[in-house]
């Protein structure tokens, strides 16, 4: 293992090697005999380096100067330019891929159903987006605001108990539990009813109440249930899709 | 800290400025004078950094062509020679990097053999071997200091840094050279 030379000694040895002051060199060696070999090596290094100038520069005759037509450009600059270009391209591709693959699907996915023009209410246009930011605890997903297929009216199991309350109040309770919107006429809203249901869907509750209090609930499958006064011959409920099918078949 | 023996600075008057002014005024012979005056020094720098005579000749032509075209950019805050050496150093390092891959594949013996055309009177082959193993930047610093006898201030301006930075870099370059030089001697 080589001995580590103190910085001051190393600096002094380089100074002596540069100046080649013989008296100073002798003085140094007499005081630091341990570093004699190191000093001689540095003197040799500096001497060799200085002497190397001679062969490289002798007998060089300057040719007549003619400016070159073109001077090759700096390749490193070109490489840097290419690198920046490639980097920007990779960034653009990555941004596109991330946007395309990982953006919320609701904003990109088209509606699975054609616009429903039947479900209307005063002051509301058909299929108007309804912002609903509360998570659906039953399915573990967040409701999106676009009109997509919504089966919560027939899938969410709920229990409800009321005694002598307006029908509108029961509708609001069902709306909050089943995450649906119930659209009804004012005549029905004010009707006082009593209801007691356990482990049923919103549609099942509405169908049963419809038979009792004379209204028909129609599931639009887009998060809306329309409640109309009166009952049909088949029962108190129906769906938009069934009606559509009937219209198509009937021509 | 490092000890680099500072060289005496030359006089402040730069007679080259007169030639530069004449050239910029339309006197083409003024540039010929500058070329004749500095060709050998620029060649030495290029030769020392590139370690190849032919490439050094090409580099010198490129350096003077650049100076010829862009002499108007010389702001005269430094001496003309310093500015010229800076162009020479940058251009030579640029060329050395371009040929770096090739240079690594060349046997060192071959590099030394290339020097055979030069007078063998005083040079130590170990110096050329050690220089060949150094980076172009290290070679540039050592050449400017030991071959061209530039002051630290001129070296700093030639490589585009402060005096203290130049001193530190020169010290490190010299240390790297010493290690390689001594190892080469032991191997021999």
- Restricting to A residues 148-167, those with a Cβ less than 8 Å away from any Cβ of B are none
A52 interfaces chain B, CB cutoff of 8 Å:
yes
B66 interaction partners in chain A (CB closer than 8 Å): 71
User: Is the predicted pLDDT of residue B106 greater than 70, yes or no?
Assistant: no
- CB contacts < 8 A (A, B): 107
Closest CA to B111 of B94, B96, B129: B129
Residue B103: pLDDT band (50, 70, 90) is low
CA-angle at B182, arms to B179 and B186, nearest 5° = 135
Nearest CA in chain A to B41: A57
A11 interaction partners in chain B (CB closer than 8 Å): 1-3
What average pLDDT score do residues A150-171 get? 79
Residue B139: pLDDT band (50, 70, 90) is very high
Residue-wise DSSP of B119-156: --SS--HHHHHHHHHS-HHHHHHHIIIIIS---HHHHH
Mutation choice for B interface testing from A41, A56, A63 by most B CBs within 10 A: A56
Residue with more model confidence, B119 or A97: A97
B124-130 long-range Cβ contacts below 8 angstroms, 24+ apart: B124/A48, B124/A51, B124/A52, B126/A48, B126/B181, B126/B184, B126/B185, B126/B188, B127/A48, B127/A49, B127/A51, B127/A52, B127/B181, B128/A52, B128/B51, B129/B180, B129/B184, B130/B177, B130/B180, B130/B181, B130/B184
User: Is the predicted pLDDT of residue B82 greater than 60, yes or no?
Assistant: yes
Q: Which residue from A15, A51, A57 is facing B44, i.e. has the nearest CB?
A: A57
Q: What string of H, E and C letters represents the secondary structure of A198-239? A: EEECHHHHHHHHHHHHCEEEEECCECEEEEEECCCCCCCEEE
pLDDT for the residue B20: 92
Q: Tell me how far apart the alpha carbons of residues A96 and A105 are, in angstroms, rounded to a whole number.
A: 15
pLDDT for the residue A2: 57
The residues, ordered by sequence, that sit 6+ positions from A84 with a Cβ below 8 Å of its Cβ are none
pLDDT for the residue A151: 59
Sheet holding A224-229, edge to edge: A181-184, A224-229, A215-219, A237-239
In chain B, what percentage of residues exceed pLDDT 90? Answer: 38
Q: Tell me how far apart the alpha carbons of residues A218 and B121 are, in angstroms, rounded to a whole number.
A: 109
A40 interfaces chain B, CB cutoff of 8 Å:
no
Classify each residue of B150-182 as buried b or exposed e, where b means 16 or more C-beta atoms within 10 Å of its C-beta: bbbbbbbbbbeeeeeebbebbbebbebbbebbb
Range scoring the smallest mean pLDDT among A99-113, A154-168, A214-228: A99-113
* pTM confidence score: 0.54
User: Under an 8 A CB cutoff, do B178 and A41 touch?
Assistant: yes
Q: Tell me how far apart the alpha carbons of residues B145 and B168 are, in angstroms, rounded to a whole number.
A: 13
Q: Give the H or E element holding residue A142.
A: strand A141-142
A117 interfaces chain B, CB cutoff of 8 Å:
no
How close A43 gets to chain B, by Cα (Å)?
10
User: Under an 8 A CB cutoff, do A53 and B94 touch?
Assistant: no
User: Is the predicted pLDDT of residue B5 greater than 80, yes or no?
Assistant: no
Distance of CA A132 to the CA centre of its chain: 20
Residue A128's SS3 state is coil
How close B130 gets to chain A, by Cα (Å)?
10
Closest CA to A206 of A180, A241, A186, A242: A180
B131 interaction partners in chain A (CB closer than 8 Å): 52
Q: Which two tokens stand for residue B187?
A: 């191997």
User: Under an 8 A CB cutoff, do A55 and B174 touch?
Assistant: no
User: Under an 8 A CB cutoff, do A48 and B61 touch?
Assistant: no
Neighbours of A241 (CB within 10 A): 14
User: Is the predicted pLDDT of residue B64 greater than 50, yes or no?
Assistant: yes
B40 interaction partners in chain A (CB closer than 8 Å): 57, 60, 62
Q: Tell me how far apart the alpha carbons of residues A113 and B94 are, in angstroms, rounded to a whole number.
A: 66
pLDDT for the residue A145: 40
A111 in Cβ contact with A148 (< 8 Å): yes
Please report which residue ranges of chain A form alpha helices under DSSP H.
7-19, 22-31, 36-51, 53-57, 75-102, 105-108, 152-155, 167-178, 186-189, 202-213, 240-250
B115 interaction partners in chain A (CB closer than 8 Å): 55-56
Half-sphere exposure of A106 (CA within 13 A, CB side): 13
Residue with tokens 């040799």: A44
pLDDT for the residue A55: 56
Tabulate helix, strand, coil % of chain B (nearest 5).
Answer: 75, 0, 25
pLDDT digits (tens, 9 = 90+) for A40-79: 989 988 988 888 875 555 556 777 787 777 776 666 667 7
A62 interaction partners in chain B (CB closer than 8 Å): 35-36, 39-40
Q: Tell me how far apart the alpha carbons of residues A219 and A238 are, in angstroms, rounded to a whole number.
A: 7
pLDDT digits (tens, 9 = 90+) for A172-213: 888 888 888 888 888 788 888 888 888 888 888 888 888 888
A50 interaction partners in chain B (CB closer than 8 Å): 146-147
pLDDT for the residue B170: 92
Nearest CA in chain A to B59: A71
Q: Which two tokens stand for residue A11?
A: 């600096």
User: Under an 8 A CB cutoff, do A57 and B2 touch?
Assistant: no
User: Under an 8 A CB cutoff, do B3 and A51 touch?
Assistant: no
pLDDT for the residue A150: 55
């Amino acid at each position: 293992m080589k001995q580590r030379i103190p910085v001051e000694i190393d600096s002094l040895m380089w100074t002596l090697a540069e100046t080649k002051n013989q008296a100073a060199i002798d003085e140094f060696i007499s005081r630091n005999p341990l570093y004699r070999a190191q000093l001689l090596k540095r003197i040799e290094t500096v001497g060799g380096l200085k002497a190397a100038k001679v062969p490289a520069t002798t007998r060089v005759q300057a040719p007549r100067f003619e400016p070159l037509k073109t001077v090759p450009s700096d390749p490193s600059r070109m490489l840097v330019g290419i690198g920046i270009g490639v980097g920007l391209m990779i960034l653009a591709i990555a941004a596109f891929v991330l946007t395309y693959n990982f953006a919320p699907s609701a904003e990109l996915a088209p509606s699975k159903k054609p616009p429903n023009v039947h479900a209307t209410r005063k002051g509301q246009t058909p299929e108007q987006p309804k912002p609903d930011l509360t998570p659906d605890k039953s399915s573990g997903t967040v409701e999106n605001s676009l009109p997509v297929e919504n089966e919560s009216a027939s899938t969410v199991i709920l229990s409800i108990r009321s005694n002598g309350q307006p029908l509108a109040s029961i509708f609001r309770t069902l709306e909050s539990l089943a995450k649906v919107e119930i659209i009804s006429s004012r005549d029905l809203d004010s009707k006082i009813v009593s209801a007691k249901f356990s482990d049923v869907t919103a549609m099942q509750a509405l169908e049963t109440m419809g038979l009792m209090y004379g209204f028909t609930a129609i599931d639009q499958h887009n998060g809306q249930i329309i409640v109309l006064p009166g009952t049909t011959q088949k029962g108190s409920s129906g769906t938009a899709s069934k009606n559509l099918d009937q219209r198509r078949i009937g021509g | 800290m490092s000890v680099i023996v500072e060289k005496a600075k030359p006089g402040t008057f730069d007679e080259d400025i007169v030639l530069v002014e004449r050239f910029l005024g339309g006197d083409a012979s003024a540039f010929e004078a500058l070329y004749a005056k500095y060709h050998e020094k620029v060649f030495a720098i290029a030769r020392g950094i590139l370690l190849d005579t032919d490439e050094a000749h090409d580099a010198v032509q490129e350096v003077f062509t650049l100076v010829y075209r862009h002499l108007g950019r010389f702001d005269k805050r430094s001496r003309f020679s310093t500015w010229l050496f800076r162009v020479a150093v940058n251009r030579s390092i640029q060329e050395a990097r371009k040929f770096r891959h090739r240079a690594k594949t060349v046997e060192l013996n071959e590099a030394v053999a290339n020097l055979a055309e030069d007078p063998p009177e005083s040079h130590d082959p170990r110096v050329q071997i050690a220089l060949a193993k150094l980076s172009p930047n290290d070679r540039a610093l050592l050449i400017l200091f030991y071959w061209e006898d530039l002051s630290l201030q001129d070296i700093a301006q030639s490589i585009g840094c402060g005096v203290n930075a130049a001193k530190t870099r020169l010290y490190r370059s010299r240390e790297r050279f010493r290690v390689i030089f001594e190892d080469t001697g032991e191997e021999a």
